[in-house]
Amino acid sequence: MFLREQPGLELAGGAGTGSFGRALVPVKSLSRYEQLRIAAARIDWVPDLGAEIGSLTWWRGLATCTLLCGAAILTAPGLRPVPGFVAAPMTGAAWEEARPLAIAPLALGGGTGRRMAATDLVRPLAETPERPVIELTATLGDGDRLVSALQRAGVGRPDAAEAASLIARAVALDDIPSGTMLDLTLGRRADKRVARPLERLAFRAKFDLNLAINRAGEGLTLERHPIAIDHTPLRVTGRVGSSLYRSARAAGVPARLVEAYIKALASRVSIGRDVRADDRFDIIAEQQRAATGEVQVGQLQFAGLDQGHRKIQLVRWGDNAQWWDARGQSERRGAMGMPVAGHVTSTYGNRMHPLLGFMRMHRGMDIGAPYGSPIHAASDGVVAQAGRAGGYGNFVKLAHPGGVATGYGHMSRIAVRAGQHVSRGQVIGYVGSTGLSTGPHLHWEVWKNGVSVNPRSISLSSVAVLSGKALREFKAKVANLLATAPAR
Residues 364 and 413 in one domain: yes
d(CA 418, CA 384): 6
Residues 242 and 211 in one domain: no
Q: Is residue 99 part of a domain?
A: no
Residue-range definition of the domain harbouring residue 311: 234-328
pLDDT score, position 244: 92
Domain termination site, one of 198, 226, 254: 226
Residues 448 and 351 in one domain: yes
d(CA 203, CA 210): 6
Whether the predicted pLDDT of 4 surpasses 50: no
Residues 348 and 459 in one domain: yes
Whether the predicted pLDDT of 2 surpasses 50: no
- Enumerate the H helices of 239-384 as residue ranges: 244-250, 255-265, 271-274
Q: Is residue 155 part of a domain?
A: yes
Mean pLDDT of the chain: 83
d(CA 279, CA 244): 9
Where are any strands of DSSP class E within 277-393? 280-290, 295-306, 311-317, 322-325, 329-335, 343-346, 349-352, 359-362, 365-368, 374-376, 381-388
Q: What is the dihedral of CA 11, 17, 19, 21, to 10 degrees?
A: -170
**What is the CATH classification number for the domain harbouring 282?**
3.10.450.350
Residues 186 and 212 in one domain: yes
Residues 315 and 268 in one domain: yes
What are 368-391's pLDDT values in tens digits?
A: 889 999 999 988 889 999 999 988
Residues 348 and 446 in one domain: yes
Domain termination site, one of 282, 302, 328: 328
What are 168-188's pLDDT values in tens digits?
A: 999 999 999 999 999 999 998
**What is the CATH classification number for the domain harbouring 435?**
2.70.70.10
pLDDT score, position 7: 47
Whether residue 237 contacts residue 280, with contact meaning beta carbons closer than 8 Å, is answered with yes
Residues 260 and 306 in one domain: yes
What are 323-341's pLDDT values in tens digits?
A: 888 888 776 555 566 788 8
Residues 177 and 263 in one domain: no
d(CA 483, CA 486): 9
Higher pLDDT, 402 or 225: 225
Q: Is residue 47 part of a domain?
A: no
The DSSP code for 174 is G
Per-residue confidence at 230, pLDDT binned at 50, 70, 90? very high
Q: Give the pLDDT mean for 286-302.
A: 93
Q: Is residue 22 part of a domain?
A: no
Q: Is residue 37 part of a domain?
A: no
Residue 177: burial class (beta carbons within 10 Å; 0-12, 13-18, 19+): exposed
Residue 425 region by backbone torsions, left for phi larger than 0, else alpha for psi between -120 and 50, else beta: left
Higher pLDDT, 437 or 49: 437
The DSSP code for 456 is G
Whether the predicted pLDDT of 95 surpasses 50: yes
Cα–Cα distance list, 173 to 46, 156, 477 (Å): 85, 19, 34
Q: Give the pLDDT mean for 119-126.
A: 80
Q: Give the pLDDT mean for 289-298.
A: 92
Per-residue confidence at 468, pLDDT binned at 50, 70, 90? confident
Containing 240, the helix (H) or strand (E) segment is none
pLDDT score, position 268: 81
Q: Is residue 150 part of a domain?
A: yes
Domain termination site, one of 286, 301, 328: 328
Q: Give the pLDDT mean for 443-454.
A: 89
pLDDT score, position 16: 43
Q: Is residue 337 part of a domain?
A: no
- The pTM of this model reads 0.51
What are 27-74's pLDDT values in tens digits?
A: 557 788 787 888 777 777 677 777 888 888 888 888 888 988 988 888
Residues 278 and 243 in one domain: yes
Number of residues that make up the chain? 488
Domain count, the chain: 3
Q: Give the pLDDT mean for 282-306.
A: 93
Residues 290 and 370 in one domain: no
Residues 401 and 316 in one domain: no
Whether residue 179 contacts residue 138, with contact meaning beta carbons closer than 8 Å, is answered with no
**Pick from 161-170, 308-317, 333-342, 361-370: least confident:** 333-342
d(CA 377, CA 399): 11
Q: Is residue 429 part of a domain?
A: yes
